[in-house]
Amino acid sequence: MEKIRIALVAAAVLCAPFATAQTATKIKVGLMLPASGAYASLGTAIENGFKLYVAEQGGKLAGREVEYARVDDESDPAKAIDNVNKLLKRDNVDVLVGTVHSGVALAMAKVAKETGTPLIVPNAGAAAITGSMCALTTFRSSFTMWQPAYAMGEVVAAKGHKNVVTITYKYAAGDESVSGFKEAFEKAGGKVVKELNLPFPNVEFQALLTEIAATKPDAVYAFFAGAGAVKFVKDYAAAGLKKSIPLYASGFLTDGTLEAQGADAEGLLTTLHYGDGLGTARDNAFRQAYTRVYKGEPDVYAVQGYDAAQMLAIGLNAVQGDLTKRQEFAAAIERAKIDSPRGAFTLSRSHNPVQDIYLRQVVGGQNKVIGVASKALADPGHGCSL
Ligand code: PHB
């Protein structure tokens, strides 16, 4: 027995330097994204974008080879804590990247803050992530729900519409999208006359579309994304509403969905921090590289994934890959200008992008950028005291 014990200890000692060298060289990135459910295609685009940037750096960031651990979060908030703990405890990741759904991301932000794990959120727009739950090493490469929604409130008011019905999923992302829209629209003299919603990821829109038809507003504002967005745009047109009541939305309604929406999406006006046809050298190079590797066109989610990797690289380079230097890691990202395909952006004090919100129109199956709805729009970051 004693011999076995000595042999085990000796083996552990011999293995120890090897294990340390391994962790010192590789960096393990935990990707927590949806690979199934209504937001699956959004998760894929984010992962593609993230991996494209890392591949462009030769698979290494700050000299450390990047390794991935993945978990399918199914966009299910009830499983979020377990899923993030799988990455932290089972896979021992150094960094968390995720996710799409705000309800899931809020749980990630809580665990990341409690454990001091760096987190980069490549989509989810709930305000609290870079508001009341903000943390030294929590960053967002995407947006808050408020940003494109507020910009659209101004656009719809400027069109002369007075009465609007809103429709969305009943969870943080939908609620905050509607409140951002309402804030700008009502400040400009409009009135939100009815707020309709349904539980995520339900796609039985018929009763709500009948209610819109009966209410006869001047316009409708919607937040849907992924599979729900495809079905909503098709059902809105099939109900005959597209001809009579103009539909406006944050750009999630038509990003990554146009092929499936077809003619039913043509002409729609949306606001978002990315779009087609920007025509800058940076965006052209990104789009060519993305299309070469993945064979399809990139969308806003791919850009957010790509920029999450850029932000991680900036932080890691500043500390020569040493993530124990948390202050310096965070400070480097805080003062950076991120060279994004969407256009360069900086981060607010609460670590959310300060960015242009474009006005886009669906033309020929593309989200064509037709103007800037709001220049360098910063989320207020309420409740964050970094
Ligand atoms: C969110 O839940 O925050 C969310 C999901 C999908 C989007 C945008 C935001 O396209």
DSSP symbols for 105-129: HHHHHHHHHHHT--EEESS---GGG
Find the 273 Cα to ligand 1 centroid distance in Å: 14
Q: Which tokens belong to 96? A: 């968390």
Find the 100 Cα to ligand 1 centroid distance in Å: 6
Find the 9 Cα to ligand 1 centroid distance in Å: 50
User: What's the angle, vertex CA 16, arms to CA 14 and CA 21, rounded to 5?
Assistant: 120
For the CA of 104, the closest atom of ligand 1 is: 2
For the CA of 100, the closest atom of ligand 1 is: 5
Predicted model pTM: 0.94
Note the pLDDT of residue 8.
Answer: 43
User: Phi/psi at 8 (nearest 5 deg)?
Assistant: -65, -45
- Which position has the token pair 């027995």? 1
Note the pLDDT of residue 191.
Answer: 98
d(CA 196, CA 384): 30
Residue among 136, 143, 379 nearest 252 (CA): 143
Find the 126 Cα to ligand 1 centroid distance in Å: 8
Chain centroid to Cα 132, Å, comes to: 18
Find the 71 Cα to ligand 1 centroid distance in Å: 18
> Which residue's CA lies nearest to atom 3 of ligand 1?
124
Residue 290: CA count within 13 A, CB half-sphere: 25
For the CA of 171, the closest atom of ligand 1 is: 2
Find the 7 Cα to ligand 1 centroid distance in Å: 53
d(CA 127, CA 177): 10
Residue among 180, 123, 124 nearest 156 (CA): 180
> Which residue's CA lies nearest to atom 9 of ligand 1?
124
Specify whether the CB–CB gap between 264 and 241 falls below 8 A. Answer: no
> Which residue's CA lies nearest to atom 7 of ligand 1?
225
For the CA of 225, the closest atom of ligand 1 is: 10
Find the 320 Cα to ligand 1 centroid distance in Å: 33
Note the pLDDT of residue 28.
Answer: 98
d(CA 360, CA 277): 10
Note the pLDDT of residue 24.
Answer: 56
Note the pLDDT of residue 315.
Answer: 98
Q: Report the chain (386 residues): mean pLDDT per 10 consecutive residues.
A: 43 41 76 98 98 98 98 98 98 98 98 98 98 98 98 98 98 98 98 98 98 98 98 98 98 98 98 98 98 97 99 98 98 98 98 98 98 98 94
> Which residue's CA lies nearest to atom 5 of ligand 1?
101
| 195 dihedral zone (left: phi>0; alpha: psi -120 to 50; beta) | beta
Q: Which are the contacts of 205, defined by CB distance < 8 A and separation ≥ 6?
A: 198, 231, 232, 235, 236
Q: Which of 101, 147, 272 has most ligand 1 atoms within 8 Å of CB, for mutation?
A: 101
d(CA 251, CA 178): 14
Find the 95 Cα to ligand 1 centroid distance in Å: 21
Find the 117 Cα to ligand 1 centroid distance in Å: 23
For the CA of 124, the closest atom of ligand 1 is: 3
Q: Which of 76, 100, 143, 270 has most ligand 1 atoms within 8 Å of CB, for mutation?
A: 100
Residue among 86, 107, 87 nearest 96 (CA): 87
Find the 200 Cα to ligand 1 centroid distance in Å: 11
Specify whether the CB–CB gap between 96 and 282 falls below 8 A. Answer: no
For the CA of 229, the closest atom of ligand 1 is: 10
For the CA of 75, the closest atom of ligand 1 is: 2
Ligand 1 site, CB within 6 A: 39, 100-102, 123-126, 173, 225, 252
